[in-house]
Every structure is written in C-alpha cells, then in structure tokens.
Structure 1
Amino acid sequence: MIGALWRGASGMRTQQLAVDSLANDLANVNTTGYKRGRVEFADLVYRPVQEIGMPVNQPLDVAATPAPGTGVKVAAATRDFTQGSLVHTGDPLSLAIQGEGFFAVYGPGGELFLTRDGNFHRDSEGYLVNAGGYYLDVPFALPEGAEKVTITGDGTVTATVEGETWVLGEIYLYNVPNPAGLEAAGNNLFRETDASGLAAAGRPGTAGLGTIRSGYLEAANVDLAASLTGMLLARRAYELNSRSVRIADEMWDLANNLRR
C-alpha cells in the first residue's frame, strides 16, 4: 500500500508542474515573441513482483510476472516554436520574422542571445537595441538625421540622409539545429546549449530562414482556449491522484490498527 502513496504523489507533482507551465503561458499571452511551453511526461521503472513461496511453480515467461509501475515523471519541458500572429505597429524598426530563425543580440558582457522579439529602437549613438538595451547583431548604426528607414524582407537596411538614399547594411537571421533545446534566459532571450547546437547566421529568405517584416511584431503563440482546457484537465488529474493518496493512506491506517 505504501507504493500507492508514492505513485499518487508523483502524479500530483507532475500535474503541479503542468499547471505551472500553463500559468506561465497565460501570464505571457501579451509578451512579444513568447513561445508557449510544453511539458512531457514519462512513466517510471516497473518492478516485477516476486511472491515468496507462492505459487510453487513460477511461470517460465518473464513477461507473465506482474510488474506494476512506480509512477510518473516529467521527461522534458520544451518550448513550441510555431509561428505567432503578426501585429502591425507602423514603426519601421519593429521587426518580425515570418518563418524560421532568430534575431541575434549581444548583452552587456558580449554574450550572444537569440530572440524572436523584434521590438528594436535606436539608442543615443544610433545603434539598434531592444527594450533591455541589448545590441542587435549588425555592423552599422543609423546616421544622425537618418529619415525614412526601410528594412526589406531580405534584411537590407536603407535610410534617407539629407535627401540621398544610403544602403546601411544587412540584418542577418540565425538558426539552430534544434530550437527546442535552447535555454530560456528571460527577457525574451534564448541561450545556446549542447542540445540546441550552435547558431548559424544566414541571409533572410535563404537556407530555410524566414523573411523579415518591417513594421510588425510577432505576438505570443499562446492558445488561450487550449491553455485553459489544459489547466482544467491538469486540475482534474491532480484531484484524482490526491484521492488515490487518500485511499492508500486510509488502507495503511486500517492495516496499522488491526487487532488480534
């Protein structure tokens, strides 16, 4: 009976983590470029039951030996990188990726981060930075007095300076072999890991990379209806697991209070 306690407790723990993930998705429903989480479950090891002395003739087939499971665990907590809807802003420095790929930004210590949040603006020196002050990976700055900044789908950046059109440079996108293996670093940023592989730069629209949409931002890909339904299912599963724990505890109490 004590095994039922542990099995029910493992179910309660995993459903709690599932609710935590769904709650985080709902909290970030308006976060630009946010990707919803996905919790995956796996059953634990199975332990064959060997009765001592009964039956006398043990079955020859190993598969016939009873082997109850020992519960459930969280096998992985990944992210779903499906495309979010594009929201029009009208600001040419608001960038969204239509398709695969990430923008690359550099933090204060020079560390490279990947992001789908293209909410950029120019700083005091003309460099493109995100809301956290991280620099977009481009080898140029917008010159003083630059007007009519245009960013095409292939990443080419042009601006009008004193009536002349200047080609300032290009914005490259990055991709990794396994985006699900990226580590979430907060502030809409992701960090490379051994599971994700190294990021490789490429021109937008080539090598499987998406294109850049200027004047748009990518909304979170959270499905409100699916998230709320998932929370109700997780709550119901948590309740059933807690009931199994309660029943096992009552049976254990009966066994402990037997009278001869």
Structure 2
Amino acid sequence: MAYSQALSGLSAASSDLDVIGNNISNANTVGYKQSGAQFAALYATAMHTSMNNGPGIGTSVSKITEKFTQGTISETGQTLDMAINGNGFFQTANAAGAKSYTRNGQFSLDAGGKIVNAQGLNLMGYAADAKGVLNTSAPVPLSIPSGSIPPSMSTKVNSEANLNASSKPPAEKPFNASNTATYNNATTAQIFDSLGNAHTLNMYYVKEPATNGQPSSWNVYGSMDGAPVGYSAGSAPKTIAQLSFDQSGKVVGNGLSNITLSMPKGATASQPIKLDLSKTTQFGSDFAATSVTSDGCSAGSLSSFSIDNSGKLMGTYSNGQSATLGQVSLASFANEGGLVNLGNNVFAESASSGQPQVGVAGTGALGNLKSGATEASNVDLTSSLVDLITAQRYYQANAQTIKTQQSVDQTLMNL
C-alpha cells in the first residue's frame, strides 16, 4: 500500500514543481497570472459504504488555479500598450470571431490598421462613425483609420472685441477697404469653403456720428480675399452688421447678423455665415480684438492618436481637429477562477466562469485603463522560491517512503 501512496505523492509533488517552475519562468511575462496546484486525498472506499476510517491511498492534483491579483503597472511610453488597473480583461477575437480574454495589454497595428496582440488576435471595442459617435450595441475589432477626415464648411464666425468709446468717426468717406482713413478698426477671421479651401474674412468697424441726440453707432463692413462682401466693387458699400451700445458699453440687441459669401467656382457657390458680434463691447479703452473664431476646417490626415483612462481612442489630425476613433471594451466574469487557460496569456469562458459582462473601463466593476503602460506578472519570486524548496522536500519525503517500504519488505523476506 505504501508504494501506491508514495507514487501518488511523487506524482503530485512533481506536478506542484511543474506549476511553481512555470510561475518562475513567467515572472517577466506581461499580464501573466500566477498558478497554484490544489490537491485532494484519495481513499479506497466511499463514504456511504464504509463505517470505519481506513488509511488513504494517496493524493492527486484536483485542480490548477490562477490567482488573478493585480500586477505592478510599469510605464512603456508606447500608446498601444495598455494596463488594466483593477478588474477586467481585454476582449480579443480571432479571424473566425471566437472570443478570448487576456490581461496582457501589449498591442500593435497590423498591415490593415487593426489593433492586434502578438498572436494576431484582434482587440475588441466600440467603433465610431464619421461624426465620432460610438456604437455600443456590440464590440467589433478596433482599427485606426489611416484616411483623411473630410473638410467642413464654415457656418459661423464669433468675434469678441472692444471698440474704443472715445473714437471719432473716420475723417474720410465713403468706406473703402484699401483706405485706412475710412474705417476705425479691423479684425480677421479664417473661414473654409465646402472643399476645405481657406479664405480670409475681414471685418471693418466704422464709427458713425451721433444724430438727433442718439448715441453713436458702428457700421461693420466686410471683405473676403480682398473682394467686398454684400456689394460689387465700384458700387456703394453695404454693411454686414450694425452695432449700437447701451450706457454700460454692451451691445443693444442680440448682436447677430446673417451674411452670404460668394465662393470660388468648384465649391458651394453661396455660403451662408452667421456672424455673432454679441460679445463686442464699447468701453473707454483702446481697441482690442480678444477672440475671433470660426467653425469649419480643411481636410486633414491622422498625425497621432491617444487612449484615455476610459479606453477612448482619440485621433489628432493635421488640420488641428480631433475625433473619436473608437473605445476599448473590457469584460468581467462572475467567477474568474472558472476561466479556461488557453496559453499565451489567453483565457476562454466556460460554464463555471459565467458569461462575460462587457462594458467600458471605469464603469461598474471594471477598472481603469492606463495607456503607455503594461501590467507585470503577479508572480512573487521570493515566495515562489520558498514554495519550490517546500515542494522539493515533499518529493524527497515521498521518495523516502518508498525506501522505507523497501526496507520493511527486505526485513520480511529475511525472516
């Protein structure tokens, strides 16, 4: 009997040494989770058929389990390196769509722009449409688009400026954009047509004299790329806006004006622009253009991208615009210990683990993401080396049991 007990002990100790050795060998494997062997006693009789407690017949390895404790997060500086700080797994899929899960956040781009790991598995997440709106109905393979974003036509111009209340009306009339003596001040805004071509919109402020006891007002004229706005060259100039101010120096009315720009051939011919001058002031200080902004942009190519703590991928383009490219999804399980280890730091769901609960980082029970970093193995080398020595002694003790039984057998044979 002692032989079978010792042999089972040797086998169990050998398995334990294998598990500990595997842990030590993966001490530097990114995202690796330490394993542990669980043992169970073996008995020759079942509980319901025997009333007496007999000696056991050995031991066996009942299960190899992973310990999903947090590993140390280390900076790498690579944008597509990601670490999960807290609960959750990256969701990956192969070409056939079979899902798997991992804590190894080392990803890169393949030739087609898809985000993949070292085994070529696609990182899953939520895709964004052309307007940057995420589709959270179901995770799909994430990719970084290499194409340009289309241009956007300008539709509004916002101007913030202070007009000096002490200014005098220009000495010369009528207004002429090429004659600075016919206007007091000017501001400039850049706008874009439907093809993304940039144009310069100038706004000229002309103070009008007070009449009939009414406070003075300001006429605003415009030109685009040197051509008058709202009238033809050589004809009487027409204003694009008129401003008057109350005693506190604020604009009377809403300060809004609608103008239409004539664009070059090839672009949309008539381009409406909403001019917002509501934040213009008239104080007793020098003229100052605080801010002159417009919407719209030219076409742009992707220059860089980043990933925030929620896993959202943000692209920055050469035209200064930014757009949402997608968002990394994470998965959690009711019983992480029930996951099936497929090797390569990849796990699969099972009946014991339960179905994955998919969401985005920082929501529910899911941890946060850190881009430019990886999670180190959670193997504690010091304790693993101690476990290695202990397992070795278990092995030696079982081997000694065989030697002892051999001595007993030899004694019996010599009687």
Fold equivalence (TM over 0.5):
yes
**Inter-partner Cα distance in structure 2 for 1:109 and 1:28:** 29
| 1:114 equivalent in structure 2 | 101
Could you say which structure has the greater relative contact order, defined with CA pairs below 8 angstroms and 6 or more residues apart? 1
8 Å contact from structure 1 (residues 204, 210) kept in 2: yes
TM-fit CA distance, 1:192: 1.1
DSSP-derived class of the 2:113 partner: coil
| Richer in strand (by share) | 2
**Inter-partner Cα distance in structure 1 for 2:5 and 2:45:** 13
| 1:143 equivalent in structure 2 | 145
**Inter-partner Cα distance in structure 2 for 1:254 and 1:147:** 84
**Inter-partner Cα distance in structure 1 for 2:101 and 2:56:** 41
DSSP-derived class of the 2:365 partner: coil
| 2:80 counterpart (93, 96, 107) | 93
| 1:43 equivalent in structure 2 | 41
Please tell me whether residue 152 in structure 1 is matched to residue 326 in structure 2.
Answer: no
Q: How does 1:18-29 map to 2 (within 5 A)?
A: 18-29=16-27
Change in Cα spacing, 1:129 to 1:66, as seen in structure 2 (3 Å) is closer
DSSP-derived class of the 1:206 partner: coil
Q: How does 1:213-252 map to 2 (within 5 A)?
A: 213-252=370-409
| 1:52 equivalent in structure 2 | none
- Listed as ranges, the gaps of 5+ residues in structure 1 are 49-61
**Inter-partner Cα distance in structure 2 for 1:131 and 1:201:** 23
| 2:71 equivalent in structure 1 | 84
| 1:74 equivalent in structure 2 | 61
| 2:266 equivalent in structure 1 | none
Superposed CA deviations along residues 173-225 of structure 1, whole A, max 9, x for unmatched, are 00111111111112221111111111120121112111111110011111101
| 2:120 counterpart (119, 133, 138) | 133
**Inter-partner Cα distance in structure 2 for 1:141 and 1:8:** 56
8 Å contact from structure 1 (residues 47, 69) kept in 2: no
> Could you tell which deviates more after superposition, 150-159 or 14-23?
150-159
**Inter-partner Cα distance in structure 2 for 1:250 and 1:109:** 60
Superposed CA deviations along residues 118-148 of structure 1, whole A, max 9, x for unmatched, are 1111122221111111111133421225333
DSSP-derived class of the 1:229 partner: helix
| 1:167 equivalent in structure 2 | 324
**Inter-partner Cα distance in structure 2 for 1:92 and 1:183:** 29
**Inter-partner Cα distance in structure 1 for 2:75 and 2:43:** 51
Change in Cα spacing, 1:66 to 1:113, as seen in structure 2 (3 Å) is closer
| 1:179 equivalent in structure 2 | 336
- Listed as ranges, the gaps of 5+ residues in structure 2 are 128-141, 147-300
Change in Cα spacing, 1:119 to 1:66, as seen in structure 2 (3 Å) is closer
| 1:8 equivalent in structure 2 | 6
**Inter-partner Cα distance in structure 2 for 1:122 and 1:240:** 52
**Inter-partner Cα distance in structure 2 for 1:185 and 1:47:** 35
| 1:33 equivalent in structure 2 | 31
Residue type at the aligned position of 2:90:
F
Residue type at the aligned position of 1:45:
Y
**Inter-partner Cα distance in structure 1 for 2:100 and 2:53:** 50
Residue type at the aligned position of 2:401:
S
Deviating 4+ runs (over 4 angstroms): none
DSSP-derived class of the 1:246 partner: helix
TM-fit CA distance, 1:47: 5.1
TM-fit CA distance, 1:249: 2.1
Q: CA RMSD in A?
A: 1.7
**Inter-partner Cα distance in structure 1 for 2:303 and 2:121:** 23
TM-fit CA distance, 1:246: 1.2
Q: Which structure has the larger Rg?
A: 2
TM-score (normalised: structure 2): 0.56
TM-fit CA distance, 1:112: 0.5
TM-fit CA distance, 1:66: 5.1
TM-fit CA distance, 1:245: 1.2
